[in-house]
Copies of this chain bind each other. A is one copy, B any other.
Amino acid sequence: MLGRTVVIDEGIIMPLSPQQARVCAANTIDFSGLSALFINTSLKRSSGDSHTRLLLGVAGDMMQRAGVVVEHIHMLDHIIPPGVQPDMKEHGWDRDDWPKLWDKVRAADILVIGTPIWLGEESSVCRVLIERLYGMSGLLNDKGQSIYYGKVAGSVVTGNEDGIKHAAMTISYALSHLGYTIPPQADCGWIGEAGPGPSYGDESDDGTRAGFDNDFTQRNTTIMTWNLMHLARMLKALGGYDNHGNDRNAWKAGCHFGFENPDYRS
């Protein structure tokens, strides 16, 4: 059974490389039953202008071919204020689309965050996303574990010259701290040589697109994608983590109320 793509933004699409297509075609493992959410924290108002979206699309396409239900979200298509509360409408903001997005995050087995690099770091939009995810960390599942237990996460980072690892480090640490499991080599990206230059997918005079022929970007994107699926499938099959030793309800002393840190609210 093939995955169903719930939402795919319009715009240019980067095709799978022949090798990626072959890996997908040769797959015999059943990943149906898994769902993946890709959130692009590009600074571009419109998804179609985002370079990062191209590489997110490659990962999403491979997952879909493997039977995973895939959805892409462009953060700036939504009005999501900064903050660490579940609904910022209760804290002075007129509108907050986060609760709608949260339903999707909560439902997805796999989360992939995409970010551009500016001044060597992830975008401000990416940090808003991390704040809002953090804002839910007081929620526990029915085993008394963080609501994020049993889910897996990765990151896709593009820029024109420096910072993949710095941004990936920030994202994967935040998600791990919240309760996601991070599979091996769960980040990928593209940057060019030091100095100004094209962004990922920018067209040259000769019609080639920057980074599309970078074998290692494509290799790492492929490895990340499959490791996310393998690990999500294993964790789902096993029913997530046993709660011996990590049950926050059992750790009675942890129940302090009134502090601002989201993970201490519960």
Q: Contact residues of A with B, CB < 8 Å?
A: 19, 23, 26-29, 43, 45-46, 62, 76, 82-84, 91-93, 118-125, 127-128, 130-131, 134, 145-146, 148-149, 160-166, 168-170, 172-174, 176-187, 189-199, 211, 214-217, 219, 222-223, 225-227, 229-231, 234-235, 238, 241-242, 244-246, 248, 250-251, 253-254, 256, 259-261, 264
* Beta-carbon contact of B223 and A245 below 8 Å: yes
* Beta-carbon contact of A215 and B182 below 8 Å: no
Q: In angstroms, how far is the closest chain B Cβ from the Cβ of A207?
A: 17
Q: A92-B45, A182-B176, A241-B231 are in contact. Are A119 and B195 (CB under 8 A)?
A: no
Q: In angstroms, how far is the closest chain B Cβ from the Cβ of A236?
A: 12
| A215 to B259 CA separation, bound complex (whole angstroms) | 15
Q: A163-B165, A165-B173, A191-B162 are in contact. Are A264 and B124 (CB under 8 A)?
A: no
Q: In angstroms, how far is the closest chain B Cβ from the Cβ of A50?
A: 12
Residue from B160, B244, B251, B260 within 8 A of A199 (CB atoms): B260
Q: A93-B45, A163-B165, A230-B241 are in contact. Are A82 and B195 (CB under 8 A)?
A: no
* Beta-carbon contact of A183 and B181 below 8 Å: yes
Q: Which residues of B contact A231 (CB under 8 A)?
A: 181, 241
Q: In angstroms, how far is the closest chain B Cβ from the Cβ of A41?
A: 9
| A24 to B100 CA separation, bound complex (whole angstroms) | 40
Residue from B124, B181, B229 within 8 A of A128 (CB atoms): B124
Q: A184-B149, A219-B253 are in contact. Are A131 and B123 (CB under 8 A)?
A: yes
Residue from B91, B180, B197, B259 within 8 A of A196 (CB atoms): B259
| 23 A–B pairs (Cβ distance < 8 Å), ordered by A | A45-B91, A119-B165, A123-B127, A146-B184, A160-B261, A164-B194, A165-B173, A166-B166, A168-B173, A169-B170, A169-B173, A181-B183, A192-B194, A193-B211, A194-B211, A216-B254, A219-B248, A222-B246, A222-B251, A226-B245, A229-B245, A230-B241, A234-B234
| A205 to B19 CA separation, bound complex (whole angstroms) | 29
Q: In angstroms, how far is the closest chain B Cβ from the Cβ of A181?
A: 6
Q: In angstroms, how far is the closest chain B Cβ from the Cβ of A255?
A: 10
* Beta-carbon contact of B127 and A124 below 8 Å: yes
Q: A84-B118, A242-B230, A254-B219 are in contact. Are A185 and B43 (CB under 8 A)?
A: no
Of all A-B residue pairs in the complex, the 6 with the closest CB atoms, nearest first, are: A226-B245, A120-B165, A195-B216, A45-B92, A124-B127, A196-B264
* Beta-carbon contact of A82 and B124 below 8 Å: yes
Measured CB to CB, the nearest residue on chain B to A137 is: B119
Q: Which residues of B contact A160 (CB under 8 A)?
A: 259-261
